[in-house]
């Protein structure tokens, strides 16, 4: 049986990586990091539309290399790539959108922008976070994804996420949505 896949998704600086690590530790399962962050740090420059495909391929490689435990936490996935590509470049290659649909996670935890934004070397700006949050919610709905909004302080977010994962583990999806595993 394929593992249940839970993806943290949402605008930058909304606690996705922190929450992914906490969930992986709490449940004793692996988590897949965000390739785009590593890629942006390695490139050391503003990303362009030419970077979208390498980022997508890198994220798919990380996802495919994840252990087949009963549960795997994803710090992002290709739906994020689609949202950011269309937001910043008004274009996303069709093959990425198709792969995003084929590789949908079993549950998405959509992190809200109700936490402070902090600057680092790869973050853009706090300004578009609310716009991006709406775009993520729309994309998840358009992809027919099962998603839950995660908001509140850090402890509340973790509690809500743990509750959602426990519920998912009690009632796993009827079909596997990831034919690549």
Instruction: Please check whether residue 178 lies inside any domain of the structure.
Output: no
Give the CATH number, domain containing residue 123: 3.40.50.300
Give the model confidence (pLDDT) of 23-82 as tens digits: 999 999 999 999 998 999 999 889 999 999 999 999 999 999 998 888 999 999 999 999
Is beta strand 107-111 parallel, antiparallel or unpaired with respect to 71-74? unpaired
Give the model confidence (pLDDT) of 105-116 as tens digits: 999 999 999 887
Give the model confidence (pLDDT) of 126-167 as tens digits: 557 889 999 999 999 999 999 999 999 999 999 999 999 999
Whole-angstrom distance, CA of residue 21 vs CA of residue 27: 10
Range of the domain at 69: 4-170
Instruction: Please check whether residue 19 lies inside any domain of the structure.
Output: yes
Instruction: Please check whether residue 165 lies inside any domain of the structure.
Output: yes
Question: For the whole prediction, is pTM greater than 0.75?
Answer: yes
pLDDT at 3 exceeding the cut of 90: no
């Amino acid at each position: 049986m394929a593992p249940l896949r839970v993806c943290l998704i949402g605008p930058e600086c909304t606690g996705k990586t922190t929450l992914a690590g906490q969930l992986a530790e709490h449940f004793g399962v692996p988590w897949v990091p965000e390739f785009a962050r590593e890629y942006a740090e390695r490139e050391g420059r503003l990303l362009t539309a030419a970077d979208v495909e390498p980022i997508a391929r890198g994220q798919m490689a990380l996802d495919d290399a994840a252990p087949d435990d009963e549960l795997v936490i994803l710090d992002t996935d290709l739906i994020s790539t689609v949202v950011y590509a269309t937001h910043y470049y008004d274009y996303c290659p069709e093959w990425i959108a198709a792969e995003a649909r084929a590789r949908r996670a079993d549950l998405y935890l959509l992190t809200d922008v109700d936490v402070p934004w902090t600057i680092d070397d790869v973050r853009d700006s706090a300004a578009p976070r609310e716009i991006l949050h709406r775009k993520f919610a729309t994309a998840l709905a358009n992809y027919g994804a099962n998603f839950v909004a995660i908001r509140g302080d850090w402890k509340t977010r973790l509690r809500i996420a743990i509750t959602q994962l426990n519920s998912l583990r009690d009632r796993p999806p009827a079909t596997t949505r990831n034919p690549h595993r």
